[in-house]
Chains A and B, each alone.
Chain A
Amino acid sequence: MNRKLPEYTVSLRNLFRVYGTLFAGVLIILCFSILSPDFASVDNMINISRQISFLVIIALGATLVMAVGEFDLSIGAMASLGGVIAAKLAVSGQPIWLCILIPLVSSLVIGYINGWVVTKFRVLSFITTLAMGTILGGITFWLTDGATIFENIPESFRYLGQEMWFTIPILSFIMLFLTFVFWYIMSHTPFGRRLYAIGGNESASRNAGVSVAINKNMAFALCAMLATLAGILMASRLGSAQPTSGDGLFLPAYAAVFLGMTSFKEGVPNIWGTFVGAAIIGILANGLTMLEVPSFLQDVVTGCIVIAAVILQKTGRDSS
């Protein structure tokens, strides 16, 4: 009976709760547009879309793992290793498709191992992936001796990272394509439904006949693959592979997921939320740089915004 009464107010509040983060993003864009005349230009928007592509791709994977209620701390190291392997293969003269395929396939295996350790031996994913990250970092260092790979990298290796289609970077296309694909997977396939069910209640999912272990392992595998792809694309963009290039993506990736959890599907990791979260972080970095804010302050601002968003979402939720 009483559920019909406050429809208007509820929907307005819900609207804000569900799209609040999106509004905040728009607000940030407006602020920067006023403060810096160059910010709102088409060129800069294209630039931002390229800058955030790595972050979006790696964060998509983190979203999957968080959807099943786990954590993958090895994604940064995974990205670095991916870039290094791809670059090494390119230098050794392998065809470009192989340079991409080999690291992607190996990362699927590594990610699956992450999942397997977690599900089979019931080790906390925190610990497992922290250790895996250390292992991968070691391997990367062994492959590179700690030096950046930049000599003799063929032109073709730079294609995906530096070229444009119709004046839009290929990177941006890849980012949008993957976001769309994973949105589809998470919300329109049985697999996605199962991942969310596992994250929601593992025991109930098991009782409902869901293979918890296999689905979790798959989430870890896909997460590792996306991290590796981000690493490869970054190497392609830079035309070189640094042994620590992916490390800087790790924290922002989770920040993006957490920001994303505050929007669309409230409290649940979701793909478009992650996209918006990553975009906000990217836009902040871009805008603050344009305003010549020193980079340490940028980090401070980004961190504060994540905390504020999560608090806002929590209080919004409790008051309902």
Chain B
Amino acid sequence: MLEVKELDKRFGFHYALSKISLDVQAGEIHALIGENGAGKSTLIKILTGIYQVDSGKIFWNGQDIQIREPKAARKIGIQVVHQDRQLIRSFTGYENLFLGMSYPKQKWALGIHWKQMRVEAEEVKKRLGIQLNLSKLAKDMSPSEKTMLEIMRAAMMDCRLLILDEPTAALNDEESELLYALIHKLVAKGTSILYVSHRMNEILRLSHRVTVMRNGKIAGTFPTNEMNKDKLVQLMTNQDGTTKVREHKSSLTGKPEVLRLTGISSMDQKVKHISLDVKQGEIVGVFGLAGSGRTELLETIYGTRKRKSGKVEIQGERVESISPKHSLSKGIILIPEDRRGDGLVLDMSIRENMTLSTLSRFSSLFHMRKQREQTEVHAWMERLQVKATSSEQAIKELSGGNQQKVVFAKALLSKPILFLCDEPTQAVDVMTREEIHQLLREQTTQDSGVLFVSSDVQEVLEIADRIFVVHDGATVAEFQNEAVTAEQILQVCYNQRKLSDVENE
């Protein structure tokens, strides 16, 4: 029914997808798995018309088609339920259901025919066997109800292929069962499902075939009954010995601690009682799946997220970090995950961005010493090899990698002793990625500490001396990065997920 051939998608110089080929048969549940950043979301966005491909072909029922906009995808019968629910919070279930379709009108007036709308909605509900109070506002609905609502909405349109992106991420087991039943009903009616999930168990149970993605490529498509959990994890992580051997490090034992956390929790409980430490010269990796609280942990240390309890010590001195400003003065710096949203002032120049944390160093009394600023900025641009026309170029004109270098230069200017790095190599080309790793290693030789958060297991294994695994806001495992493999780490995550599912029952 759907067939894609050799799809390529680039962002700048970075290949998000390369030579993706995949087919979905009519009435099939086709699972799609891969680590974060493997390219699943990008593929979905291409199939639903949000992104355009750079090369490659999409066939729909044998016809070569191009999906130029989301409307076009919907028209030919590709519906999607995104991970982040696309509902209008202040609308009722009915109103959300008919969103984007023509609302039934009253015969002689322009008003909406509410009764007609209700009748139609009830019909769909009956057809799919869904129990749902549609007069509730979307914001009052549980994640499960929202998912049902979205699937209903998809089913009301011409739905030949339904793409479900992590539909059970926020659901408990019971709710998931309801969802599975609904999926089977849809499939019985001839709808195909492209099912994206991190949960091995449900993929093994639900799907007919499974496609594994890795680093923007297809690692293989297999009949599900020939697969098991271990094989899938192995395919996802590609443990075939290509992992780089980490440079051996002189022993860190006996080195003083840069950071010690004792049972810190955030106000919103996204971080629950985490304790860990970072020694001088050490890179500590924090790995967790999406929504595990890894970003929130860094934010809680840095002070952008409110801390509820627990102790933070920097070089043995207790800090009540209430603001990023205070953290900076203690030598902590955050490299935020969302570079454009939280790291840079896009309308400003390279120079202005780079010195934002350290303005007082470049001013005497009230006057900005632009000459001094200029010299320093040039020195850093040279050192980190920022490619730009001049220090006055607007930061938004640079590539992702060069932008990130400016973020790092800004951080280094404040002479930090502890780096909190949140996915620092995300959407950055391979060269820059290496440069950033090298930079962090250099910093550790000067006795700084690094807390490195990544959703990429390989990267954590490549750079970290010690690895913490977080799940649901808490640390669940700690490994010395010596004999540990990606499989072991991922296994911990997936097992935790199973455990918490059991608890929810």
Contact = CB atoms under 8 A, between A and B. Distances in A.
Interface stretch (A77-85, A97-105, A199-207, A219-227): A199-207
B46 to A, nearest CB: 26
A119 to B, nearest CB: 13
B367 A197 contact: no
B356 A210 contact: yes
Contacts of A203: 341-342
Given A190-B360, A203-B341, A267 B324 contact: no
A194 B359 contact: yes
Nearest to A192: B368
Contacts of B389: 3
B170 interface: no
Contacts of B348: 196-197, 200
Contacts of A156: none
A193 interface: yes
B255 interface: no
Given A193-B356, A209-B324, A209-B328, A204 B367 contact: no
B357 interface: yes
Contacts of B343: 204, 207
Contacts of B336: 204, 207
A208 interface: yes
A209 B357 contact: yes
B410 interface: yes
Contacts of A193: 352, 356, 359, 368
**Interface SS of chain A: helix, strand, loop or mixed?**
helix
B334 interface: yes
Contact of A201 (B327, B345, B360, B367): B345
Given A194-B359, A200-B347, A209-B325, A189 B368 contact: yes
Nearest to A198: B345
Given A188-B368, A189-B368, A193-B359, A206 B347 contact: no
A206 B324 CA distance: 7
A10 to B, nearest CB: 12
A73 interface: no
A191 B365 CA distance: 11
Interface residues of B, number: 32
Contact of A207 (B342, B346, B359, B367): B342
B352 A197 contact: yes
B347 A207 contact: no
Nearest to A193: B359
A251 B329 CA distance: 42
Contacts of A206: 304, 323-324
A268 interface: yes
B149 interface: no
Given A196-B348, A197-B348, A201-B346, A207 B360 contact: no
A209 B302 CA distance: 10
Nearest to A196: B348
A94 interface: no
Nearest to B327: A209
B360 to A, nearest CB: 6
A271 to B, nearest CB: 15
B347 A268 contact: yes
A210 B368 contact: no
A201 B338 CA distance: 12
A189 B345 contact: no
Contact of B324 (A191, A201, A208, A268): A208
Given A206-B324, A209-B324, A191 B366 contact: yes
A211 interface: yes
Nearest to B368: A188
A189 B370 CA distance: 10
A268 B302 CA distance: 30
B344 interface: yes
A189 B357 contact: no
Contacts of A194: 356, 359
What is the size category of the interface that chain A forms with chain B?
A: 20 to 34
B366 A200 contact: no
Most chain A beta carbons < 10 A, residue from B336, B346, B356, B363: B356
B367 A188 contact: yes
B342 A190 contact: no
A209 B366 CA distance: 18
Contacts of B368: 188-190, 193
Nearest to A189: B366
Nearest to A266: B347
A249 B348 CA distance: 31
B324 A197 contact: no
Interface string A263-281: 0000110000000000000
Contacts of B370: 188
Most chain B beta carbons < 10 A, residue from A188, A194, A201, A268: A201
B356 A208 contact: yes
A208 B357 contact: yes
Most chain A beta carbons < 10 A, residue from B324, B367, B370, B410: B324
Most chain A beta carbons < 10 A, residue from B352, B359, B410: B359
Contacts of A3: 389
Contact of B410 (A188, A189, A200, A208): A208
Contacts of A210: 325, 356
A201 B366 CA distance: 23
Nearest to B341: A203
B156 to A, nearest CB: 37
Contacts of A211: 323, 325
B226 to A, nearest CB: 48
Contacts of A189: 363, 366-368
Contacts of B414: 209
B352 A207 contact: no
Contacts of A205: 345, 356
B345 A207 contact: no
Contacts of A207: 302, 304, 324, 334, 336, 342-343
Contacts of B366: 189-191
A194 B327 CA distance: 18
Nearest to A206: B324
B423 to A, nearest CB: 15
Interface string A91-124: 0000000000000000000000000000000000
A204 B363 contact: no
Contacts of B344: 201, 204
Interface string B351-382: 01000110110110011101000000000000
Contacts of B346: 200-201
B164 to A, nearest CB: 32
Interface of B: 302, 304, 323-325, 327-329, 334, 336, 341-348, 352, 356-357, 359-360, 362-363, 366-368, 370, 389, 410, 414
30 contacts: A3-B389, A188-B367, A188-B368, A188-B370, A189-B366, A189-B368, A190-B359, A190-B362, A190-B363, A191-B366, A193-B352, A196-B348, A197-B345, A200-B345, A200-B348, A201-B341, A201-B344, A204-B344, A204-B345, A205-B356, A207-B302, A207-B324, A208-B324, A208-B356, A208-B357, A209-B327, A209-B328, A209-B329, A210-B325, A268-B347
Given A190-B366, A197-B348, 17 more contacts: A189-B366, A193-B352, A196-B345, A196-B352, A200-B346, A201-B341, A201-B342, A204-B344, A204-B345, A204-B356, A206-B304, A207-B324, A208-B324, A208-B357, A209-B327, A209-B414, A211-B323
